[in-house]
Amino acid sequence: MRDWYTVGVALGLGLSIGVLFAGVLSTTPLGRAAAVVLAGLAGAAAGMLIEDWAEIAAGVAGGLAGAIASAVVVSGALRRGGTRSGLALIVAVVAVGLGALAFVPVVGYLEVLGLPALAARLRRTRGERYAGLRSLAKD
């Protein structure tokens, strides 16, 4: 039973690391690629600190899932007018919360399933850039 818990923790921590890297680095296409690679490596390191090969694999999988899914969310927010520093701060706070929730049994598995599903849904329903007061301006 302990292995299921530690694999879930590794998944959740890897995911939160991936979210953090994507939030900080995903402002350019090269940054998104770097975030995915670094998240996989950091997820492997987190899994190694937890226990053995199963946790390493789970950390890598969580890191990749977190970085790829968060890159979709971050790039969409930047495209709609979000600022880089504000978005990085918000995503960092979310990543810390996801990392803390990873220690709750079964939540790490749910995070790894839920975040990519959310990103896929957001990708399908792309919104327009917020017009703000420009919509009231008369040409």
Q: How many domains does the chain have?
A: 1
In a domain, 129, yes or no: no
Q: Which among 66, 65, 44, 67 is positioned nearest to 56, based on CA atoms?
A: 44
pLDDT score of 48: 96
In a domain, 133, yes or no: no
Place 24 in a pLDDT band, splitting at 50, 70 and 90. Answer: very high
CB 19: neighbour CB atoms within 10 A?
32
In a domain, 30, yes or no: yes
What's the pLDDT tens digit per position in 64-84?
A: 999 999 999 999 888 888 899
Place 133 in a pLDDT band, splitting at 50, 70 and 90. Answer: low
Residue pair 12/31 in contact (Cβ under 8 Å)? The answer is: no
In a domain, 27, yes or no: yes
Q: pTM (2 decimals)?
A: 0.86
Average pLDDT of span 9-16: 96
In a domain, 139, yes or no: no
| Per-position b or e across 52-74, b if 16+ CB within 10 A of its CB | eeebbbbbbbbbbbbbbbbbbbb
Look at residue 41 and give its three-state secondary structure: helix
In a domain, 126, yes or no: no
pLDDT score of 2: 80
Q: Which domain holds residue 21?
A: 2-120
